[in-house]
């Protein structure tokens, strides 16, 4: 009934975090360096630096004030990074080392909203929420210009690409573009054409033309010699960014002439290429399905030939500039993770369902990401078929999808079905063969969906589009929402768990009711069959996990330990242990035989909705509302081996210690005992020294020859000994040696000496008071003894003469 698993015959004792997938981008500016190898993005109070090749976060830069980052910019020579925080501080970074080289006040009276370097990487312009534009010399470290006159927030600044012209452009809340002369320290022109916020400014290679984009659905081409608009191009969407393309033919993008062409990104969610001269759209990218595809950012790394765009779902997409072929995808922020599953025959990938209509598939070895589109509303649950190539998803859009992964790791939607009248909240695949799947919905019904034979072929996914799924059976199962369904290992039984506080057992494929499991005090979140025994596990909002017998529907065991709802439960160790996850952010490992909670894993900060175990039973996967996905590794054998090695080492050291004491080599014995970090063992050595009449005189010399860190440890041990009247003499002897022979300045330099003295003083005073009382009592007793007047002893009677 179950596949063979590793570690048969042993219980798990612990898991450790092997990998953590965390949010690295929560909105705001993104920027590529000139080589296209590093990607910079804002995540709250940090600027994260990603390695584009691997997707790994190389470094997180956070200012000392720990306030949110409001703006940043990387210099054109890729050497200097400057960040601005809500605390009105600017920080200049040597970003490769992760160190701040300079920190200064922004002087703005409100947070910095935008910043930009000039082409020489020496001048930095900052635009503030106070309407001011300031220019800084980052090499000589002083402010050079302060431009006033912009109403409201200055949200856009850009230097002219020709450093000789010393021009700065800015845009604020009045929808105009201002041109500032750094040479004259004045405003050269106020350019008016937009009727909504200006979102980007970009310049032609010759420096004579500027392109501006806005949320008023137009792009404007400006002649910078006359500061006049030469052409207005209606683009029919709210544009967040426009990029001027290199002036060279690109047939794949519809660029056939050398004229000015630009690319726009906006609320339609597609990249479009426009010819400036005619105002015609010459190329449109293929539209992705589902909401959240609006583009919020777009940036070009010319020398690397890469184009970066950002969606409203915080997904980062890297394209080849010449063909707009997708090169890389990064999932910046997953919001609330609702479900997770291992994928592939060897669990080489994971799939994540978050608070989004799209799915994210990660390859564990390289962390390469694929973003899958198929649903039109939030995906609520996932499940994977036995072999790992096929998996299924269900969503709030009342539909289900079957996805197929090929041997190259690429995933495509191969089947879709709909039929429920409310959100589909749970899904389960057949266990024995890839023949059917079962869904449960808020409409209180369960549907059985046969898997078409065409999907089981080993060839590539069909190009004709997804196959349509038809439900074979529909059964109304509960009076409230169905939160979980589970198929038995033999594919003959179905369990359902509902908000009505009951679980029910059904016979497949006719969906005949066999029995009801009643006993939970609140709704059920999860049901799961044991892989070995005829047992069902249920997880409930009452904070308990229960085991039920399938024969008589009785409750066999109850596991209590979570402080809130238990959301997921899974069998591990061939059905002898359970993993449970809850709303308290905890994952617990239980041993069924004795109802014991073996381990509590505390790495999430919010509800743990997703829990799945690998087919080899050596790893677990969790996903939670804190946007984190954690891969756990079974470290039972590793910890047992470490514990065994530690015990063996302790036995060897203890034997060595006994030998040293026997040989009266007290200095080495004391050093060894301190290295073991066992106060009682050190006490034993000190007592042995004090018992030896010859060595007692050498106690001071032995203590003074210790290293400083060993003396610090000895003072810490003295605090423990000093609390006990039986061991205080050893503590006072050691302290006496240190106080007599060490200078006060040296003693105060010891780590934690102040706290140690505060801990030693009360007990030392108490010991001296006790000794004083004992001395007084002994003196009084001596006085009494000396002054006692005893009556003379009676004389012994004389012996009677013996009769002769």
* 7 pLDDT higher than 50: no
* 682 pLDDT higher than 90: no
pLDDT at position 6: 39
* Exposed e or buried b per residue across 351-373, where buried means at least 16 C-beta atoms within 10 angstroms of its C-beta: bbbbbbbbbbbbbbeeebbbbbe
pLDDT at position 8: 42
Name beta bridge partners: 572.
Answer: 577
CA atoms within 13 A on the CB side of 675: 14
Decide if 36 contacts 30 (C-beta within 8 A): no
* 317 pLDDT higher than 60: yes
How many Å apart are CA 213 and CA 204, to the nearest integer? Answer: 14
Angle at 463 between CA 461 and CA 464, to 5 degrees: 120
Confidence of residue 803 (pLDDT cuts 50, 70, 90): very low
Which of 399, 350, 357, 368 shows the shortest CA–CA distance to 611? 350
| Common-topology check for domains 336-457+467-476 and 507-633 | yes
Confidence of residue 689 (pLDDT cuts 50, 70, 90): confident
Dig out the tokens for 669 from the structure.
Answer: 């014995």
The per-residue pLDDT for range 108-128, each reduced to its tens digit, is: 999 999 999 999 999 999 999
Mean pLDDT of the chain: 88
pLDDT at position 4: 36
Confidence of residue 252 (pLDDT cuts 50, 70, 90): confident
Cis peptide before 278 (omega within 30 of 0): no
**DSSP state, residue 585:** S
Q: Say which range, 181-190, 580-589, 640-649, has the weakest mean pLDDT.
A: 640-649
pLDDT at position 697: 65
Q: Say which range, 1-5, 135-139, 174-178, 276-280, has the weakest mean pLDDT.
A: 1-5
Q: Which residues does 568 contact at the CB level (< 8 Å), separation at least 6?
A: 525, 526, 539, 580, 581, 608, 609, 610, 611
* 147 pLDDT higher than 90: yes
Confidence of residue 1 (pLDDT cuts 50, 70, 90): very low
Alpha-carbon torsion 622, 626, 628, 630, what sign?
negative
Extract the runs of DSSP E, i.e. beta strands, from 86-176: 89-94, 99-105, 112-117, 123-128, 133-137, 142-147, 156-159, 167-171
Q: What is the mean predicted confidence (pLDDT) over 83-101?
A: 94
Decide if 681 contacts 673 (C-beta within 8 A): yes
The per-residue pLDDT for range 768-800, each reduced to its tens digit, is: 888 888 889 889 888 888 887 667 767 666 555
**Strand-strand pairing, 467-468 and 411-418:** parallel
| Torsion angle of the four alpha carbons 21, 22, 27, 33, in this order, in degrees rounded to the nearest 10 | -70
The per-residue pLDDT for range 362-382, each reduced to its tens digit, is: 998 888 889 999 899 999 999
Topology (CATH) of 336-457+467-476: Methylamine Dehydrogenase; Chain H (2.130.10)
Confidence of residue 289 (pLDDT cuts 50, 70, 90): low
* 56 pLDDT higher than 80: yes
Which of 516, 474, 479, 511 shows the shortest CA–CA distance to 498? 479
Alpha-carbon torsion 675, 679, 680, 684, what sign?
positive
Question: The whole model's pTM is what?
Answer: 0.77
* 292 pLDDT higher than 70: no
Dig out the tokens for 595 from the structure.
Answer: 């109802």
* 463 pLDDT higher than 90: no
- Among the ranges 51-60, 296-305, 487-496, which has the highest mean pLDDT value? 487-496
Q: What is the mean predicted confidence (pLDDT) over 125-149?
A: 94
* 700 pLDDT higher than 90: no
How many angstroms from the chain centroid is the CA of residue 320? Answer: 30
Decide if 106 contacts 124 (C-beta within 8 A): no
Confidence of residue 570 (pLDDT cuts 50, 70, 90): very high
Alpha-carbon torsion 262, 265, 266, 271, what sign?
positive
Decide if 140 contacts 164 (C-beta within 8 A): no
Tell me: domain 205-333, CATH 2.130.10.10, correct? Answer: yes
Q: Which CATH architecture describes the domain 507-633?
A: 7 Propeller (2.130)
What's the longest Cα–Cα distance across the chain?
A: 165
Q: Say which range, 242-256, 350-364, 602-616, has the weakest mean pLDDT.
A: 242-256
Q: List C-alpha distances in Å: 32 to 72, 99, 201, 349, 468.
A: 12, 20, 17, 27, 42
Domain edges within the chain:
205-333, 336-457+467-476, 507-633, 639-766
Q: What is the mean predicted confidence (pLDDT) over 276-283?
A: 90
pLDDT at position 462: 53
Angle at 245 between CA 244 and CA 246, to 5 degrees: 125
How many Å apart are CA 468 and CA 418, to the nearest integer? Answer: 9
pLDDT at position 795: 67
Identify the helix (H) or strand (E) that includes residue 781: helix 753-787
Identify the helix (H) or strand (E) that includes residue 728: helix 728-741
Name the one residue in this structure whose structure tokens are 């591990």: 572
């Amino acid at each position: 009934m179950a596949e063979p698993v590793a570690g048969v015959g042993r219980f798990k004792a612990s898991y450790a975090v092997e990998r953590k997938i965390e949010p690295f981008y929560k909105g705001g500016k993104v920027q590529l360096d000139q080589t296209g190898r590093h990607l910079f993005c804002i995540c709250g109070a940090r600027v994260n630096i990603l390695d584009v090749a691997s997707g790994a976060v190389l470094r997180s830069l956070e200012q000392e004030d720990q306030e949110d980052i409001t703006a940043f910019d990387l210099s054109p020579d890729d050497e200097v990074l400057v960040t601005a925080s809500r605390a009105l501080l600017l920080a200049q970074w040597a970003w490769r080392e992760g160190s701040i080289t300079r920190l200064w006040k922004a002087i703005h009276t409100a947070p910095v909203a935008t910043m930009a370097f000039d082409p020489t990487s020496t001048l930095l312009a900052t635009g503030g929420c106070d309407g001011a534009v300031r220019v800084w010399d980052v090499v000589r470290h002083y402010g050079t210009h302060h431009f006033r006159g912009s109403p409201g927030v200055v949200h856009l600044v850009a230097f002219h690409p020709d450093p000789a012209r010393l021009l700065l452009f800015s845009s604020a809340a009045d929808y105009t573009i201002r041109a500032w002369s750094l040479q004259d320290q004045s405003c050269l022109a106020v350019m008016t054409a937009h009727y909504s916020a200006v979102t980007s400014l970009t310049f032609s290679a010759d420096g004579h033309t500027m392109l501006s984009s806005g949320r008023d659905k137009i792009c404007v081409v400006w002649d910078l010699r006359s500061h006049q608009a030469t052409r207005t191009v209606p683009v029919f969407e709210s544009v967040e960014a426009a990029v001027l393309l290199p002036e060279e033919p690109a047939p794949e993008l519809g660029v056939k002439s050398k004229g000015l062409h630009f690319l726009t990104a906006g609320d339609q969610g597609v990249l479009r290429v426009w010819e400036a001269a005619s105002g015609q759209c010459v190329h449109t990218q293929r539209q992705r399905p589902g909401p959240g595809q609006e583009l919020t950012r777009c940036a070009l790394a010319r020398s690397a030939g890469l184009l970066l765009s950002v969606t409203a779902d915080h997904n980062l997409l890297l394209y080849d500039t010449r063909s707009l072929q997708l090169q890389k995808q990064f999932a910046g922020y997953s919001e609330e993770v609702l479900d997770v599953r291992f994928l592939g025959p060897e669990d080489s990938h994971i799939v994540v369902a978050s608070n989004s209509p799209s799915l994210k598939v990660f390859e564990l070895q390289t962390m390469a990401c694929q973003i899958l589109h198929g649903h039109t509303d939030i995906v609520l649950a996932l499940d994977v078929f036995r072999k790992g190539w096929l998996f299924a998803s269900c969503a709030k859009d009342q539909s289900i999808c079957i996805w197929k992964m090929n041997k190259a790791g690429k995933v495509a939607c191969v089947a879709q079905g709909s039929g429920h009248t409310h959100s589909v909240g749970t899904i389960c695949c057949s266990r024995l063969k890839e023949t059917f799947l079962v869904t449960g919905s808020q409409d209180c019904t369960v549907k059985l969906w046969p898997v078409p034979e065409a999907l089981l072929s080993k060839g590539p996914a069909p190009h004709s589009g997804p196959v349509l799924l038809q439900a074979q059976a529909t059964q109304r199962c509960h009076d409230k929402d169905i939160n979980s369904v589970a198929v038995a290992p033999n594919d003959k039984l179905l369990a359902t768990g509902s908000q009505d506080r009951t679980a029910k057992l059904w016979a497949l494929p006719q969906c005949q009711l066999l029995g009801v499991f009643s006993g939970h005090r609140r709704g059920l979140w999860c049901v799961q069959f044991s892989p070995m025994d005829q047992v069902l596990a249920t997880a409930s909002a009452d904070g308990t996990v229960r085991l039920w017998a399938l024969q008589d529907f009785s409750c066999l065991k109850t596991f209590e330990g979570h402080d809130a709802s238990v959301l997921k439960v899974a069998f591990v160790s061939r059905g002898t242990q359970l993993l449970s996850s809850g709303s308290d952010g905890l994952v617990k490992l239980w041993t069924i035989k004795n109802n014991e909670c073996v381990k509590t894993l505390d790495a999430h900060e919010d509800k743990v909705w997703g829990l799945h175990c690998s087919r080899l039973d050596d790893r677990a996967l969790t996903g939670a509302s804190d946007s984190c996905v954690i891969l756990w590794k079974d470290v039972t054998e590793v910890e047992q081996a470490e514990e065994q090695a530690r015990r063996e080492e302790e036995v060897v050291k203890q034997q060595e210690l006994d030998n040293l004491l026997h040989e009266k080599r007290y200095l080495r014995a004391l050093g060894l005992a301190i290295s073991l970090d066992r106060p009682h063992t050190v006490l034993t050595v000190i007592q042995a020294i004090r018992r030896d009449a010859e060595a007692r005189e050498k106690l001071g010399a032995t203590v003074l020859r210790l290293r400083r860190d060993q003396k610090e440890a000895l003072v810490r041990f003295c605090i423990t000994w000093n609390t006990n009247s039986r061991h205080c003499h050893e503590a006072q002897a050691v302290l006496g040696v240190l106080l007599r022979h060490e200078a006060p300045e040296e003693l105060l330099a010891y780590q934690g000496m102040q706290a140690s003295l505060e801990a030693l003083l009360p007990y030392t005073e108490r010991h001296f008071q006790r000794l004083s009382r004992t001395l007084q009592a002994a003196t009084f007793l001596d006085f009494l003894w000396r002054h006692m007047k005893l009556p003379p002893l009676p004389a012994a009677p004389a012996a009677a003469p013996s009769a002769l």
